[in-house]
Structure 1
Amino acid sequence: MSGRPEVLFPLFADLETLPGIGPKTAKLMEQMGLQSPRDLLFALPYALVDRRRRDTVQGVEPNTTVTVAVTVGMHRAPRQKTGAYRVHVSDTETEFQLVFFRGRKEYLERQLPFGARRVVSGKLEIFDGMAQMVHPDHILPEAEADDIAPFEPVYHLTAGVTQKVMFRATRGALQRLPELDEWIDPALKAREGWPDWQAALHVAHHPEALQAFGPTAPARARLAYDELLAHQLTLALARMQDRRAPGVASQGNGQLRARVLSALPYRPTNAQARAMEEVAGDMAAPHRMNRLLQGDVGSGKTLVAFMALLIAVEAGGQGALMAPTEILARQHLEGLQPLADSAGVVLELLTGRDKGAERRAKLTALARGDIQILVGTHAVFQEDVAFADLRLAIIDEQHRFGVSQRLQLAQKGAAADVLVMTATPIPRSLALAQFGDMEVSVLDEKPPGRQPIKTALISTERMDEVIGRLRAAIGEGRQCYWVCPLVEESETVDLVAAEERFKRLRAVLGDDVVGLVHGQMPPAEKDSAMARFQAGETKVLVATTVIEVGVNVPNASIMVIERAEIFGLAQLHQLRGRVGRGTQASTCLLMYQPPLSEGGRRRLDVLRETEDGFRISETDLEMRGAGDLIGTAQSGLPRFQIADLERQAGLMAVAQTDARKLLNDDPGLKSPRGQAARVLLWLMRQDRAIRLISVG
């Protein structure tokens, strides 16, 4: 199929072909992202106005929309031009007024003749003790009252586009709906009680009852599923393409891995062993690995990653591990060095700091294959970095790397396997939206010997008490992180907050005891402040959130987070994971500024009750929504028009299974359902997927 199927042409015509839309309105709609009748159909109403008929306005709460039949009474024209024109009306039980500003007498007398019956619909207000309806939305003879829909849809608007215009244009678009073959699996559709595509769109724009409106209503759920299915088909096609791409089978003899395991003071957890097996299986297969390793803070991802790197070396190749920042790259190096020594493999670090002769020497050794494992920052991406035989690329903290960078790294080794690691527990629905083209391994157990972290909530009014407790802990030789809030978007203001806290703590605890790290510092200063804290020279590190990912100081056993209520849950969980890495019991103090909102209290309570990152992230998703959770702008998360990842999380998993099964049974999408799915991809503007089918 080379171009858009003809059956869809009417939906992709110009907006001006719809009733009531001229060039000016079309331009305004385009600013709302609506470019064709198809887009209007998927811009579903976000609310409903209840216009069901009532007998009387008696007892109705003010500011409610009511629809009622009335007998028209006296007209009262205003004395001044600017005054209000009033028409008295009565329903079965009471009287009220219809009010018109700048009302024209002749027109209103024609519309509302004395003694006539009319149905009026509008917002009821109370003014000077009298019920009134200002400028009713509808005034109709009783015989035409059925023209008022019992539930009137309310659409998102932009300046210059009214509800009436949207309503009329959408009705025009609905009349063009083509007959399309069904792309949803018949058994699934029957089980869920979903309507056909056409019927679903009609109901979504004309709900007959309030129940037909929410995200779980069959028509809405079906349309959301269409969108998720198209997205997952695209990812599944990309995955199929990946699997067709020639990979290199890397199978090790296990010798290096055995050396490391015997040198470890503990046995890997079952979750680690399972993940290692999954990775080894992928690497041994002839196609390219594309796997996500998801594990909470402290679940032992590093060991799994290192074992994978050793497979690459055992198979005669090289491995690379990429971290988002230099501090983390150095820390990976420190963590892996003892393991590399026990295996007897050559490990090297490459960052933006390597310059001149030193950098050239490293690049030469890498190209010759003398360096077996390279740890680095994005400097590893640069043009002049060449490997002798790159078998595996591991990317740490995926959300800092977009899909395009994943591909770039994979191109360094023509067919290198890719393993992506993240310590951010991502709820399943989001993980599928973002990484649906990947296989997923989850580390859901903590290695033995990790101390639980005690979490307490404390009001900022008790600051002096906290500082007093801190002084005692330092006396016992313990170390502490003190995280200052990101109050403003501007870093300069945060800086002031951090510097104030730094000065105050130094005054109480002593000058050489307290260090400071913030986002504005030059990298060298930041590293040296971190290094002094890691070495135990400073006992308290005051920081903005730059410490959240991965920094490891086993002796730090206290974490104070100021204004914890303004942080995201996932972020608080990440920060808390910085302590509890040594042998002693650790404490995390969440300081909040009273009074706490109900949501703020609920978020902090969840942290106090559990250390399970997945449970925390699910709560975060429920409370804040997908966009905030991973910052949609840089997360690569698709934007859905209808599907709601918070409330329809379950549908995403079904869509993934369904899409993979469909492609498994019918890789060329040639069966009747496959052909229907192609039309769905065109309908959902999944051009990337369409290109993949035509390539396939």
Structure 2
Amino acid sequence: MRPEALFTYFADIESLPGVGKRNRQAFERLAGGRLVDMIFHIPSSAIDRRYHPKVMEAAAGSIATIDIEVITHKPAPNKRAPYKVICQDETGFLTLVFFHARADWLRKQLPEGERRVISGRLEHFQDQVQITHPDYMVAPDNVDELPLMEPIYPMTAGLSAKVFRKALGGALDNIPDLPEWHDDSLMGRENWPAFKPSLLSLHRPENADVITPESLPRRRLAYDELLATQLATAIVRERTRRKKGRSLKGNGNIRRQILAALPYALTGDQETALGEIISDLEGDRSMLRLMQGDVGSGKTIVALLAMAAAVEAGAQAAILAPTEILARQHLESIAPLAEGAGLRVALLTGRNKGKPRQALLDTLKAGEFDILIGTHAIIQDDVEFKDLGFAVIDEQHRFGVQQRLTLSSKAVNGIDVLGMTATPIPRTLTLTLYGDMDVSRIQEKPPGRQPIDTRVISNERLMDVLGGVERAVKSGAQVYWVCPLVEESEMLDLAAAEDRYKALQKVFGDQVGLVHGKMKGVDKDAVMAKFQSGEISILVATTVIEVGVNVPEATIMVIEHAERFGLAQLHQLRGRVGRGSGKSTCLLVRAEHVGEVARSRLKIMRESEDGFLIAEEDLRLRGSGEILGTRQSGMPDFKLVDFAAHGDLIEMARDDARLIVSKDMELMSERGKALRHLLYLFERDEGIRLMQSG
């Protein structure tokens, strides 16, 4: 149960001043529908309105707050001319300038002969001192309405900053104090304020420095969020580990057959990762390990050898993939080697229906399949194994803790879990997202992987790109053509892809195929199969589709509007080529004018193929929010942490979380009870649910 002190934090925003049925959607779009969402929507900067000069002493270009008397109104002579209000103080005249203003409203706001306090950017124009569209115009009696230090929030369409601030003020006035969950020694050492005062100082800052990531209140709140995440994962880790695992010790026979069938030897990194996994499998505590490896680094073969070890020991194994395309790709790469060594492999996706599905489930339950590959369909209630002992979760960041626990519950005698990700993740984020897992990294590329020639080209030269693609296709090459991300809109993405598809069809006819997220699985697979078999030469795709097919013959990747993508995503897409023996090229087509950050991103792509270096740069350039490309369901949502500024707090939080769990696993001490508030407040309460479910 959520602690009672938090009920107000999770109350509906409609209880707040200025929030109603008409603007509720805008509030939800911006932050969310509860008070806690409002108070965790923190300002990005602040405007200092404390400069209070006389008119003729005010510095040009400054934000000035000035006491004046309204002298006269000068309505606009025509629609294009401004409406002016002449004001003065004892030192001189100030002109207030308004475009497209309503005269009746202005006369009401600024009555002639009355005093007003005006705040805005002051300019000198043709020997006049003026403020265009003042930010605030208040009567001296209402001067409290004018914030001397005004926080500026990221906003959304349909909601004014004034309405948001009014509702936020109501939320901040309502929330109660919470018990302190940090040690006195830590609070003293770091000189941190308590939780609620930290929030209040961010939203009602005394100076602009309070809002920066380095300020004491902001660091304290970032640490709260990090500790909540680390504590949740530490509890899950400890519960998993305390469950008596089983020792899966194989005799090596199946592994030897698979290794003998491989056309190459494992790299040093693959050997190391496999050794770590086998050691975990053979131990008697449950394994929880993450294998990180760049696109094409050979994670799948390591996973297959680990599954073979589990089967040698008499258990079944499963691979859970986030999409059907990835599940089928695993089947295609694993099945020939596995079946050659006598392993029985099956595929289960949402497309398995009716009697064939039931027959597959019966066979699985009878223990007649050794390895099951599939999508979320694997974790449905009616899927039963005879003896599941080892699970591999591909693209680990797509799945939440809950899904991992559901899969684990299908094992009768304990389970070992290996997460895999092809998204290189910076070390700070690995610690944060996967604090509950041991990590193996594969950084070497297998022999035979070709370097990829990456070039950045302005879209003015698109016809040159087309000419190059035409020559390459004539010589037998295959091409991926990825269409741009359009403001996160799937429909616009689709329109862009369809337009490009039609344009390419005019040149290449039926040699072009199109895949996008709105297609049915069967249709998608049919196009993919044609591309894999070489029946079509160019595959046009939107970014919503996993271009997860392994086509060694594809040697050219064209990415339109590459400046709109994050580094991690560009790197993932580029990794689709360079898989065969042919020389591969990646063309990053950019807009004519791009910003500084986008320019840096494209430069890094041109200079490096090291996914881990690229991930660190991605984090530095754009923060953590989108480090893994589009938002993923299994990812915690960080609102208060700035990973570039708060990296030092991550290990601190991890160490603190492990200490808490070692001393007070059930969170029953005084501090433990306070920490329960922290977990529920940041919605990291999987750990508590796990404790209660045993």
Alignment CA distance shift 1:504-1:186 (3 Å): farther
Contact residue 294 and residue 425 of structure 1 kept, 8 A: yes
Residue 584 of structure 2 corresponds to: 586
Q: 5 Å matches for 1:345-364?
A: 345-351=343-349, 359=357, 361-364=359-362
**Gap change, CA 1:161 and 1:591, over 3 Å in 2:** closer
State how many pairs are aligned. 669
Q: What is the rounded CA distance, in whole Å, between the counterparts of 1:537 and 1:22 in structure 2? A: 60
Unaligned runs of 5+ in 2: 78-82, 98-104
Deviations 1:522-573 (A, max 9, x none): 5445434433433344444444447744311222222223333334432221
Question: Does the C-alpha gap of structure 1 residues 364 and 30 become closer, same or farther in structure 2, counting only changes over 3 Å?
Answer: closer
Aligned to 2:211: 213
Quote the residue 1:502 is aligned against. 504
Secondary structure of 1:419's counterpart equals strand
Q: For the structure 1 residues 199 and 264, does the alpha-carbon distance in structure 2 shift closer, same or farther, using more than 3 Å as the test?
A: same
- Give the conservation status (yes or no) of the 8 Å contact 1:626–1:632: no
Deviation at 1:359, TM superposition (A): 4.9
Question: Does the aligned pair in 2 maintain the 1:573–1:607 contact within 8 Å?
Answer: yes
| 1:642 paired residue number | 640
Deviation at 1:626, TM superposition (A): 4.3
Q: Find the counterpart in structure 1 of residue 71 from structure 2.
A: 76
- Counterpart contact for 2:86–2:93, Cα < 8 Å: no
Please name the residue that 1:553 is paired with: 551
In the alignment, the residues of structure 2 paired with residue 17 and residue 524 of structure 1 have an alpha-carbon distance, to the nearest angstrom, of 48
| Offset of residue 455 of structure 1 | 0.5
Q: 1:262 to 1:57 in 2, by over 3 A?
A: farther
State the shift of 1:631 in Å: 6.2
| Aligned residue identity for 2:453 | K
Please, which of 564, 567, 588 is the counterpart of residue 566 of structure 1?
A: 564
Specify the alignment match of 1:334 in structure 2: 332
Where does 1:169-248 land on structure 2 (aligned, <5 Å)?
Answer: 169=170, 172=173, 177=177, 180-181=179-180, 183-184=182-183, 186=185, 189=187, 192-197=190-195, 200-201=198-199, 203-248=201-246
Q: Is the 8 A contact 2:51 2:63 kept in 1?
A: no
Range with greater deviation from structure 2 (573-582 or 98-107): 98-107
Equivalents in 2 of 1:529, 1:136: separation in Å?
A: 59
Larger displacement relative to structure 2 (226-235 or 265-274): 265-274
Q: Secondary structure at the match of 2:409?
A: helix
Residue 88 of structure 1: CA displacement?
2.0
Secondary structure of 2:576's match? coil
Say if 2:305 is the partner of 1:310. no
CA distance in structure 2 between the aligned counterparts of 1:484 and 1:121, rounded to whole angstroms: 46
Q: CA deviation at 1:324?
A: 3.7
Distance in 2 between residues matched to 1:481 and 1:55, nearest whole Å? 62
RMSD: 4.4
- Give the C-alpha shift of residue 635 in structure 1: 2.5
Distance 2:581 2:506 in 1: 30
Q: What pairs with 1:554-633 in structure 2 (closer than 5 Å)?
A: 554-630=552-628
Give the deviation of 1:448 after TM superposition: 2.7
Q: Relative to structure 2, which stretch is displaced further, 638-647 or 385-394?
A: 638-647
Cα distance in 2, alignment partners of residues 537 and 44 from structure 1: 53
Question: For 2:532, which of 520, 531, 534 is the aligned residue?
Answer: 534
**Does the 8 Å contact 1:668/1:693 carry over to 2?**
yes
Partner Cα separation in structure 2 for residue 521 and residue 35 of structure 1: 36
Once the two structures are superposed, residues 347-396 of structure 1 have per-residue CA deviations (whole angstroms, 9 ceiling, x without a partner) of 33344555677555544432332321223344434555432211112222
Q: List gaps (5 residues or longer) in structure 1.
A: 113-118
Q: Is the 8 A contact 2:303 2:392 kept in 1?
A: yes
SS at match of 1:319: strand
How much does 1:297 deviate? 0.2
**Which residue type is aligned with residue 372 of structure 2?**
L
Q: Distance in 2 between matches of 1:219 and 1:603?
A: 32
Confirm or deny: 8 A CA contact 2:515 2:539 kept in the other structure. no
Inter-CA distance 404–632: structure 2 relative to 1 (3 Å threshold): farther
Partner deviation per Cα, 1:595-629 (whole Å, 9 max, x = no partner): 33434332222211111223333444454554444
Check 1:49–1:254 CA distance in 2 against 1; reply closer, same or farther (3 A cut): same
CA distance in 2 between counterparts of 1:587 and 1:683 reads: 48
What SS class does the counterpart of residue 666 from structure 2 fall into? coil
- Aligned residue number for residue 250 of structure 1: 248
Letter paired with 1:258: R
**Mean alpha-carbon deviation: is it higher for 274-283 or for 451-460?**
274-283
Cα offset, 1:314, TM superposition: 1.2
Aligned to 2:293: 295
SS at match of 2:182: coil
Note if contact 2:39-2:172 (Cα within 8 Å) is conserved in structure 1. Answer: no
Q: Which moved more, 1:126-135 or 1:497-506?
A: 126-135
Q: Which amino acid aligns with 2:254?
A: L
Query: Would you say the 8 A contact 1:257–1:310 is kept in 2?
Result: yes
Distance in 2 of aligned mates of 1:3 and 1:253? 49
Distance 1:366 1:164 in 2: 58
In 2, the alpha carbon distance for the partners of 1:3 and 1:339 equals 50
Deviation digits for residues 279-301 of structure 1 (CA, Å, limit 9, x no counterpart): 22333344433333221101111
Distance of 2:355 and 2:242 partners within structure 1: 41
1:115 aligns with none
* 8 A contact 1:548–1:574 mirrored in 2: no
Partner Cα distance (2:56, 2:564) in 1: 46
Deviations 1:438-497, CA, capped at 9 Å, x for gaps:
333322222233221111122333344334434444455443333344556326524532
Instruction: Judge which range, 306-315 or 196-205, deviates more.
Output: 196-205
Question: In terms of Rg, which structure is larger?
Answer: 1
Q: SS of 1:366's equivalent?
A: helix
Contact between 2:181 and 2:678, CA under 8 Å: does it hold in 1?
A: no
CA contact (8 A) 1:183 1:674 kept: no
Alignment partners' CA distance in 2, 1:172 and 1:374: 54
Structure 2 equivalent of residue 48 of structure 1: 46
CA distances 1:408-460 after superposition (whole Å, capped 9, x unpaired): 33333233322222212234454455444433332222223322111112233
Q: Relative to structure 2, which stretch is displaced further, 291-300 or 332-341?
A: 332-341
2:107 aligns with one of 102, 124, 137: 102
Q: Please give the alpha-carbon distance, in whole angstroms, between the structure 1 residues aligned to 2:495 and 2:450.
A: 36
The structure-2 alpha-carbon separation of the partners of 1:626 and 1:146, relative to structure 1 and needing over 3 Å to count, comes to closer
Partner Cα distance (2:418, 2:349) in 1: 20
What is aligned with 1:88? 88
Hey, what's the Cα distance between the residues in 1 that align with 2:43 and 2:237? 35
CA distance in 2, matches of 1:525, 1:106: 69
Equivalent-residue separation in structure 1 for 2:540 and 2:18 (angstroms) = 60
**Hey, what's the Cα distance between the residues in 1 that align with 2:381 and 2:395?**
23
Per-residue deviation at 1:152? Answer: 4.1
Q: Is the 8 A contact 1:517 1:546 kept in 2?
A: no
SS of 2:440's equivalent? strand
Alignment of 1:468-487 (within 5 A): 468-474=467-473, 476-485=475-484
Q: TM-score, normalised by structure 1?
A: 0.81
What secondary structure, in the 3-state scheme, does the structure 2 residue paired with 1:370 have? Answer: coil
Aligned to 1:516: 513
After TM superposition, give the deviation of residue 695 of structure 1 in Å: 6.1
| Per-residue deviation, 1:316 | 0.5
> Structure 2 matches for 1:79-158, cutoff 5 A?
86-91=86-91, 95-96=93-94, 101-102=106-107, 123-124=121-122, 129-132=127-130, 137=137, 151-154=149-152, 158=159
CA distance in 1 between partners of 2:504 and 2:84 (Å): 64
In the alignment, residue 535 of structure 1 is paired with which amino acid? S
Q: For the residues of structure 1 that align with 2:435 and 2:326, how far apart are their CA atoms?
A: 27
The 8 Å contact of residues 85 and 95 in structure 2, kept in 1 or not, is answered as: no
SS at match of 1:293: strand
- After TM superposition, the structure 1 = structure 2 runs for residues 655-666 of structure 1, keeping only pairs within 5 Å, are 655-666=653-664
- Residue 513 of structure 2 aligns with an amino acid whose one-letter code is L
Distance 1:137 1:273, change over 3 A: farther
Residue identity in the other structure for 2:422:
A
The Cα shift of 1:219 comes to 1.7
- 2:438, 2:110 → 1: CA distance? 72
Task: Please give the alpha-carbon distance, in whole angstroms, between the structure 2 residues aligned to 1:341 and 1:657.
Answer: 45
Matches of 1:358 and 1:3, distance apart in 2:
44
